[in-house]
Amino acid sequence: MLASPAMPDSATGCATQAACDHIIVKCAVESFDPDKHLAFKEAPEILTMKDIGYPEDTGVSPVAMSQPFQLFTKEAVDQMRQEIFKKEVNETCQFRSNIAASQLRGYAGRFAPFTYDAWTHPKTLAIMSKIAGVELTVVVDYEIGHINFAVKSKKQVQQEIDMINAQKCFFASDEGISGCPWEDDKPVVGWHRDSYPFVCVLMLSDCTNMVGGETAIQKPDGTVIRVRGPGMGSAIILQGRYITHQALRALGTRERITSVTSFRPKDPFAADATVLNTVRQISDVSMLYHQFAEYRLQIMEDRIRAKLREMERRQRAGKKFATSDFKAFLKEQTKFLAHMNSEMVDEDMIASGYIEEMNIPDVVVDVNQGGMERPTKRTRTD
């Protein structure tokens, strides 16, 4: 692999299991039970691609993103947290990059049966599909439960709380003229677009007293909106392949741990614009490439079988061979394979841990767009 550039300070992440002892949850191991562990009640408010300024036909669904909604119970979150702090997970599945200090990837299928079953269960997939406005399936097992860490010491948290309180007093005294300077925009994950069509971001931390921690979304005109961060067990769904976004830093709490699972349309004839430019550098490339190639070839197989059945029906009906239609089919599949080939960069050309950053200047924050909220404090949800 190519030499990697300097990484961010790992103190902002959970670089070792010992560093995270204070937040490790220990509970009796359970199997996923949707009747016990799913907490979804009703579909949340959504924003469409048109609502945030994109053409209606952008992406694979009209839905851009959702408001936070309760997805899993606290018992489910405890099981997931227990799995991510397993010794074997932290020893074999931890990655870091120039835009994220500490991440866990590719662990669910090997070391986290509860997490794996929770995200692949038909009832969970039905919820994802209902909110996204298109039938979804998990992209690949490697992208189940990707973890982003931000963990701090008690001293750091107290310093932040003192700063927040001081700034609140200043904000009150000048009647808010100077804005809300206590909300720190330094991100947990920098500006980026996802590699996959849809993501579901699940909060695994207690957000009581948390300041910040929102997801920032850049609109096509350059303005930014902040989507209220989910509470523990709650989630948001985002068509992240087509929307530039970042995870903002959380203040006043010792941790911000999120779990991100990626999805794609289940329909093999749906457009698949998956890219690997934001994930190959922070992955076991052999595992990622195998699963990427496998699902893409399965899509190709489904398309070819469907075309073959169509040809057989036409022949039985005594119709002529549709040459122009078949050539168009071949052209589309050739393009599909070429894209697949271009994304599978040779391993020795990958700069491990380096993800090209998006050069986005400061923009005006539009906090009221689409009814999205920007609270400075969220209430406990459990």
For 264-293, give one letter per residue: b (16+ CB within 10 A) or e. bbeebeeebebebebbbbbbebebbbebbe
238 membership: H or E segment, kind and range: strand 234-238
CA angle 17, 23, 25 (to 5 degrees): 95
Whether the per-residue pLDDT at 198 is higher than 90: the answer is yes
Which residues are registered as beta bridge partners of 208? Answer: 378
Label residue 151 exposed, middle or buried (CB < 10 Å: 0-12, 13-18, 19+): buried
Least confident segment among 21-35, 133-147, 176-190: 176-190
Residue 155 has a pLDDT of 59
Residues 147 and 83: beta-carbon distance below 8 Å: no
d(CA 170, CA 62): 42
Residue 131 has a pLDDT of 98
**Mean pLDDT calculated for residue range 330-338:** 97
- Say which CATH topology domain 10-284+351-371 has: Jelly Rolls (2.60.120)
d(CA 348, CA 289): 14
Whether the per-residue pLDDT at 196 is higher than 60: the answer is yes
d(CA 260, CA 48): 21
Residue 152 has a pLDDT of 53
Whether the per-residue pLDDT at 218 is higher than 50: the answer is yes
- The tokens of 59 are what? 């992406």
- The tokens of 90 are what? 């932290």
pLDDT, one tens digit per residue, over 23-60 is 666 889 999 999 999 999 999 999 999 999 999 899 99
Residue 82 has a pLDDT of 95
- The tokens of 143 are what? 């992208």
- The tokens of 5 are what? 């550039």
Domain boundaries, the chain: 10-284+351-371, 294-347
φ/ψ of 360, rounded to 5, equals -115, 120
Give the residue ranges of DSSP H helices in the chain.
Answer: 34-37, 74-84, 87-92, 108-111, 113-120, 122-132, 154-173, 285-316, 323-343
Q: How far apart are the first and last CA of the chain?
A: 45
Residue 207 has a pLDDT of 77
Residue type at 153 in one-letter notation: S
Radius of gyration of the chain (CA): 22
d(CA 228, CA 381): 14
Which residues are registered as beta bridge partners of 245? Answer: 192, 217
Least confident segment among 164-173, 263-272, 325-334: 164-173
**Mean pLDDT calculated for residue range 331-338:** 97
